[in-house]
Structure 1
Amino acid sequence: MKIWPMIWSKKEDGAFATIGAVVALVGDFASFLEKLPLTRWIIWPALLLTVALGMVCYRKMREELKSPVLASATGPACEQKDEQCKGDPSTRSKAVGNCRQCNGFRVTFFTALSVALLMLASGSKETFAEQAATRLGVIEEKVDAVKEDTGVIRDDVGVLRESMAIHELIRNPKTAEEYFHNVWAYLNVRQDDAKAWEVVQEMYRHHAPNKLDAAQLYEQLGGIHLGAAETHRRMLAVGREKQDAAMLVVASRAADGESATWALLNEARAMDPEMPHAAWDIGNYRLGRYVTSKASTLNESTHYLQQIEQKGLEAFLKLAESKPPASYFFRPRFSGDSEQLVRMRLEGIRELAQIKEQNRKAVEQSQARLRDGMRRQNEELERRARERRQRQ
């Protein structure tokens, strides 16, 4: 007798294969969820049942093939008068194996076969579901990587678009920022300083931007077309007329002398009390020169460094807490981090003051030791003089 009819003798046996595969898949997935080796536990009972039921099914099929009347466990499968039961054994074998033992053998056989295939497919992983999840995770990671790359490309495109937008002129500008954009484009892209000077004047006729980079462009372009002196005079007039503190701060950098510089800064501070640059203009290099000059003249460098510049820098940082210095620029990324520069300068002043204090204490200690040595020397000389007088 052939073994194949035990496994698959009719089309309906596909249901047993499906049942076995479903049992194996459910066990594999349950193993993945519960973190238990259920798949390995299923394979051994399935193999034992397959062998046991296979032996019973094989013996029963042999008996049925030898019998003149074919009968199943549930009743006669065919009778001797049935034509399909007559003839050669291969034809008769199609009617056998339809008992509970053979059907149970097929279920356990396909279950064991499915579990074995899943174990082979899972490889180093505990379950096939775990390997599938890992592969899906890899796919997800690759998708995330693609998303990140797409995001980077989108950001790069945004930067490129922004860079291109900087070079384009705005038709019919309305706001001060739009005017500034056109001034910057005329000056730095089209190299047309005459048109840039015309637009920057128009900006200040219609607006009071109160931006340091706008005032700097006015000073730069005015210096080209009017000269430094006339530009300075116009900056003072525009700043006072428009109550533009940034214009006076920039104008203070070209003021004639220390008193004029501080007067303009104080005037700007009165216009905009929240403006950090009016408390101490980090862009005015002459402020530090004024402090150094006066300190060297009066020989009070520590006093002036601490009482003048340090106070101004501290006032700058205090105002910066409520009004960021970058808010006084249309394009702060092109103007540097003034707050960071102030912090570095203030730290340098404090370190310098600390070093000078240490030097002062060292000098005092040295002078004290010198005085003590001279006192002891004088005492010794007096003692010797007394001894000589006593001997005489």
Structure 2
Amino acid sequence: MADTRIGIVKRIIWPAKASLFALIGGAVGLFGDLVNFFAEFLSADVLVLIFAVVTAVAGLLCFQRAFMVNAADDKAVDEVVQCTQCDAFRFGLFATAAFILLMLVGQGQSATEAVGRQLGLIKEDTAVIRDQVGDLHAMAQPQMIIDDPESAADHFNNAWIYQTMQRNSAKAFAEMQALYANYAPKKLDAAQLYFDSGNAVKGRAQLVEEMQALARKTGDATLLVIAARAAPSAEAGDEMAAEAQKLDPALPFAWWDIMRPKPVKVGDMTQRGAAAQRDRFIAERETVEKFRALYGAYPAQHWFFLPQFAGDLETIARQQSEGMANNIATYDDIASGRLADRVREEYRQKNR
């Protein structure tokens, strides 16, 4: 009798004629594996539980009928084996089996999820590498020669790299010549780079003369400012600065250049000498204040290609102006006789 019941169970699980519901169950197991991959709210454990519940309920109903049928009546057994409850049982059984098999392949996850995670890791690694390569390219960009320069900034970039990175002044100067042949950047660091690179391949006097001529041709007074620093005498430098002021009155460096300080002239300490010193400081302070007004009207990048290397010229100019104001007050006290009066008054107070 037991063998007969076991035979019925075998026929229920695997009937003589393949059951469409068994095939559908296997397909559903595969589909569940895909659903688990794409739907976050359905995990592998939840899907196994759903398939197991369906299988258990259908199996309970199926086996209840199977154990009540007359095992000797083949027709009755066939009807039970092909009943709706047994079809549902086979559906759930094969769906569960297919899904569990795929979970074993996926080592606790669905196979599709495991493969997806692997692909995700590969994709993530590729994205990280791409980001890192992008970062390296961004870091190297300022040190890369631009093959086909299309602007003054491109030429300056190339010349700066040749001069500072590759230490090739000849190429740097050629690049700067190409820059000023096509543009008038009016950037002080460009004029300085023209001088620095040219000074390595040309005589100083010849270079200064060329910079003067180039300034007149292009209207770029920054060339005169830099040339004035290298002038053969203070008087020649003053003449170049005056020319720069006429050529470009809005250029702050034409009025005051910290790299070309005025020589200190020590006069006599008489009232007349003090008045002359006071007037000289007043005139110099006016140029510094003019510089501050012009320079502060624009951001530093208006005056430099690389403003980060320019320093805080506004603060330096302010400190210079404040120092000159103190000197003006001191020399004015001397020139007006107020200082002498204070000294005499202090002397009388001490000797009473």
TM-score between both structures, scaled by the size of structure 2: 0.58
* Partner Cα distance (1:267, 1:250) in 2: 12
Gapped regions of structure 1 (runs ≥ 5): 74-95, 327-331, 357-370, 382-392
Alignment partner of 2:87 out of 78, 103, 121:
103
Does residue 278 of the first structure (1) align with residue 254 of the second (2)?
Answer: yes
Distance 1:43 1:293, change over 3 A: farther
8 Å CA contact 1:180–1:200 kept in 2: the answer is: no
- Count of residue correspondences: 308
Deviation for aligned residue 1:267:
2.0
CA displacement, residues 326-351 of structure 1 (integer Å, 9 cap, x when unaligned): 1xxxxx5xxx7454342563476589
* Partner Cα distance (2:137, 2:315) in 1: 36
Aligned residue for 1:286, secondary structure, equals coil
8 Å CA contact 1:53–1:104 kept in 2: the answer is: no
CA displacement, residues 344-385 of structure 1 (integer Å, 9 cap, x when unaligned): 6347658979999xxxxxxxxxxxxxx9xx99x99xx9xxxx
Distance 1:44 1:12, change over 3 A: closer
8 Å CA contact 2:225–2:254 kept in 1: the answer is: yes
8 Å CA contact 2:145–2:158 kept in 1: the answer is: no
Does residue 11 of the first structure (1) align with residue 1 of the second (2)?
Answer: no
* Partner Cα distance (1:201, 1:34) in 2: 66
Aligned residue for 1:17, secondary structure, equals helix
Counterpart of 2:229? 253
Counterpart of 1:315? 294
CA displacement, residues 107-152 of structure 1 (integer Å, 9 cap, x when unaligned): 1223444565677778788x88876665554333112123224435
Distance 1:44 1:68, change over 3 A: closer
AA in 2 matched with 1:286: R
Deviation for aligned residue 1:15:
1.6
Alignment partner of 1:268 out of 227, 239, 244:
244
* Partner Cα distance (1:154, 1:204) in 2: 26
AA in 2 matched with 1:267: E
Deviation for aligned residue 1:71:
5.8
Distance 1:22 1:207, change over 3 A: closer
8 Å CA contact 1:17–1:106 kept in 2: the answer is: yes
8 Å CA contact 1:266–1:278 kept in 2: the answer is: yes
1:297-336 pair list within 5 angstroms = 298=277, 308-309=287-288, 311-320=290-299, 323-326=302-305
AA in 1 matched with 2:297: K
8 Å CA contact 2:281–2:324 kept in 1: the answer is: yes
Aligned residue for 1:267, secondary structure, equals helix
1:55-94 pair list within 5 angstroms = 55-56=63-64, 58-59=66-67, 63=70, 65-67=71-73, 69=75, 72-73=78-79
Gapped regions of structure 2 (runs ≥ 5): 1-5, 328-344
8 Å CA contact 2:169–2:200 kept in 1: the answer is: no
CA displacement, residues 56-86 of structure 1 (integer Å, 9 cap, x when unaligned): 35426x63x411545644xxxxxxxxxxxxx
8 Å CA contact 2:25–2:91 kept in 1: the answer is: yes
8 Å CA contact 2:28–2:95 kept in 1: the answer is: yes
AA in 2 matched with 1:107: F
Moved more, 336-345 or 263-272: 336-345
Distance 1:150 1:57, change over 3 A: farther
8 Å CA contact 1:265–1:278 kept in 2: the answer is: yes
CA displacement, residues 306-339 of structure 1 (integer Å, 9 cap, x when unaligned): 655464245324244683421xxxxx5xxx7454
* Partner Cα distance (1:351, 1:4) in 2: 105
Alignment partner of 1:32 out of 15, 40, 54:
40
Counterpart of 2:336? none
Does residue 145 of the first structure (1) align with residue 121 of the second (2)?
Answer: no
Alignment partner of 1:340 out of 311, 332, 339:
311
8 Å CA contact 2:256–2:287 kept in 1: the answer is: no
1:146-161 pair list within 5 angstroms = 146-151=129-134
Distance 1:305 1:12, change over 3 A: farther
8 Å CA contact 1:32–1:129 kept in 2: the answer is: no
* Partner Cα distance (1:140, 1:196) in 2: 44
Aligned residues: percent identity? 17
Deviation for aligned residue 1:106:
0.6
8 Å CA contact 2:199–2:207 kept in 1: the answer is: yes
AA in 2 matched with 1:214: Y
